[in-house]
Structure 1
Amino acid sequence: MTADNPNQPSAQSHDSLELSETDRFELNLFVETFYKLTGHDFRNYSLNHIHRRLKVRMTKEGLPTLTLLLNKLIHEPEFITDILSDFSIQVTEMFRDPSFFHSFRKEVVPKLLDYKQIYIWHAGCATGEEALSMAILLSEEGLLDRAKIYATDMSLEAIETAKQGKIPLQRMKVYNRNYLLAGGRRNLSDYYSTDENFAYISQQLVESIFFEKHNLATDGSFQAFHVILCRNVLIYFNKGLQNRVHQLFLDSLRGGGFLCLGHKESIFSNTSQDIYQTFNYEEVIYQKKQDL
């Protein structure tokens, strides 16, 4: 365990790129309209993230301006699903950042051994690869039978994909390398079957995870967890939404529980040292203090 370090940089949002006032006005108008039409709230997401995703969508649709894209959104209700998918954060892989999973196995798992039931939340799970990685790790450590793993995402499409446990076969070579670097005890291929195009993760592992729809921007706490993982998601939020999500995690984490973030993220603010201690600085793992 490392010492507290209040000087660690806070989560960097993707708003560092310069947008014109016109760009900001149009983007804010778009997300405000989307919220009023659908109830999905992206008003506190990084404007640069929104800008990049909409630029890709405009190219796909052959639309030269955001005004035309907004017009399509208003007049073609079926287009909402495409925009929702665009805004979702779907960058993921099995055992992503292997050093994190290696440290989790060696340092966090021993702290979980005394619990009769272990509650774990993967927030912003995308299509589920990291949650499946956790299920494999806990299985190898003899803890899966005691664990309740919740994996949530705002995208229903992503959740439905995750429930299938189906992964394009060409990704598995990289995933196997990640698994071994993360301290895997077997061969990753022991956990899936294949056909010509896909790997199918063991149904036992898939069914050990509760995949559910949950929006970090609008939804509340639903359980008291021993571990919360939200890695490489906060960087897409503005400061206000980052603060909301940190409060949500604080409300959802048991005393002595662990909060795991991405390498470019942190929770440190003026008051955070009273709440958390840094458990592993390099892998951005915090532990909530017991007396809260």
Structure 2
Amino acid sequence: MLHLSSLSDIRRHTEQLRRQGQRIGFVPTMGALHEGHLSLIRAAKSQNDIIVCSVFVNPTQFNNQEDYRLYPRLPEKDAQMLAQEGCDVLFSPLAEEMYQHKSKLSFDFGELEQVMEGAHRPGHFNGVAMVVSKLFHLVKPHQAFFGQKDLQQFAIIQQLVLDLSFDLELVCFPIIREEDGLAMSSRNRRLTTEQREAAPQLHQALQLLRTQLQTLSVSEAKREAEAFLGRFPQIKLEYLEVVHAQTLQPLHEIAADVPVAICLAAFLGEVRLIDNLLL
């Protein structure tokens, strides 16, 4: 596996691969890799000739600097896992080079970023859009793979690709879960034993809400699920929403022809986790 960190090196290498007719699959990550990330690598390998994985903890998408400081960083283990999965290129740039010049450009995704993550993490999606744009320009992939766990992020990136005419295909891969239902996340490493025992209740709440929506109104079903989570003192719910799966706007009733997603974010101590289900 080739390991590159220079922006000029990754640009030069991927341009050469494209001239050779190689099809490039790209998996952008922030590292501390787990089975969810590796599933994206495998999916990319099944459809492309060359796999590039970036590992970069992007400072501009953290509105909480303590969260950025504590975000797990395991570069040696990440490199070993990627090599074992047959990744061809690991790109791990330095923040000083990625943001050599202070950005003046800003993104506005309208209603897409005014709900859920965008409402609770001001500036988050501007940072996401900036770094993803940079990475797409550098890597020039034919396909880019993202996980469904970051559903709103994927919608934002879809809009980014549409608006800026990036010549690539986006792929959203289903959530990979632990045996007890907890969505795999790099942040899970920060949970205490007690918090880890409570964390699967997030998925349980989503399943309960899905069931209750079959017989109750949206507001009643949400109250039932919120009450369920209220029984666990380790969990502090930030939001629980029933939304249109594409526009991500809140739904007040369910219609047969409308795609639905149920999404939540919650704190367990200082660790913030998100999860969702597509109905």
TM-score of the pair, normalised by structure 1: 0.27
RCO comparison, higher one (Cα < 8 Å, 6+): 1
TM-score of the pair, normalised by structure 2: 0.28
